[in-house]
């Protein structure tokens, strides 16, 4: 019986050492990943991210260009709960959307239960309002009501400021760096032909 346990122990140690050696050499086991038609590109130092996929329902190409904010919001001042808001410019089924993701709930707006009116400022110009609709079932995702007009308004500017009222926290200004805006948005404009 002792010989049996001795051989089991030797086999166990042998397989363990083999696993460590293969791990050091970088050999990976077989993969059962499903290949998808999604692709994502992101420049290492860039705040811009590009993603595309093919709609299974319409066979049309969907384009998503996301701009990460320069602002970091810490929920309740807690650094472990830091979030980075973003703006996504999307062409999906020939329709353009501008989507603001705050990653934290915003305060309800009196008299506008289904949307938000945010104060915006481009560079050093006078502030103006942008109307957003709430994403269905979400308190952190908002769709610009006039996306094409908003995109046209953002052209030629370097900075966008959006003032939001974070639920139970108060006002917070989100800053977006619009450098290379037109270059990065070009795939959305081509896909939706505007």
How confident is the model over 130-143, as pLDDT tens digits? 999 988 777 789 99
pLDDT tens-digit map of 130-183: 999 988 777 789 999 999 999 999 999 999 999 998 887 788 899 999 999 999
Please determine, for residue 45, whether its predicted confidence score (pLDDT) is greater than 70: no
DSSP assignment letter at 17: H
**Measured distance CA(75)–CA(103) in Å, rounded:** 10
Which residues have CB under 8 Å from 74's CB, separation 6+?
81, 82, 83
The alpha carbon dihedral of 45, 49, 50, 55 has a sign of positive
Percent of the chain surpassing pLDDT 90: 51
Instruction: Work out the mean pLDDT of the chain and round it to a whole number.
Output: 83
**CB-CB contact of 121 with 141 (8 Å):** no
Residue 85 φ then ψ, to 5°: -65, 160
Q: Indicate whether 34 pLDDT > 50.
A: no
Q: Rounded to two decimals, what is the model's pTM?
A: 0.74
Beta carbons of 119 and 103 less than 8 angstroms apart: no
Residue ranges and CATH numbers for the domains of the chain are: 39-192 (2.60.40.1880)
Q: How many angstroms separate the Cα of 77 from the Cα of each of 13, 73, 106?
A: 49, 8, 16
pLDDT for 138 equals 78
H helix runs in 30-179, sequence order: 147-154
Rounded to whole angstroms, the Cα distance separating 116 from 181 reads 24
* Secondary structure of residue 54 in the 3-state scheme: strand
């Amino acid at each position: 019986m002792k010989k049996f346990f001795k051989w089991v122990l030797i086999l166990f140690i042998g397989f363990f050492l083999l696993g460590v050696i293969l791990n050091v050499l970088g050999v990976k086991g077989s993969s059962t990943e499903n290949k998808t038609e999604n692709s994502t590109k992101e420049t290492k130092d860039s705040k811009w991210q590009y993603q595309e996929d093919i709609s299974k329902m319409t066979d049309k190409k969907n384009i998503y260009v996301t701009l990460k904010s320069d602002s970091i919001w810490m929920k309740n001042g807690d650094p472990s709960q830091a979030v980075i808001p973003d703006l996504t410019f999307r062409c999906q089924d020939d329709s353009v959307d501008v989507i603001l993701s705050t990653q934290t709930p915003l305060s309800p707006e009196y008299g506008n239960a289904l949307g938000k009116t945010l104060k915006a400022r481009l560079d050093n110009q006078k502030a103006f309002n942008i109307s957003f609709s709430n994403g269905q079932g979400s308190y952190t995702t908002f769709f610009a009501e006039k996306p094409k007009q908003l995109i046209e308004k953002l052209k030629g500017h370097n900075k966008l400021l959006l003032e939001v009222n974070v639920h139970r926290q108060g006002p917070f200004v989100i800053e977006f760096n619009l450098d290379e805006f037109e270059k990065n948005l070009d795939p959305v404009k081509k896909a939706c032909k505007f």
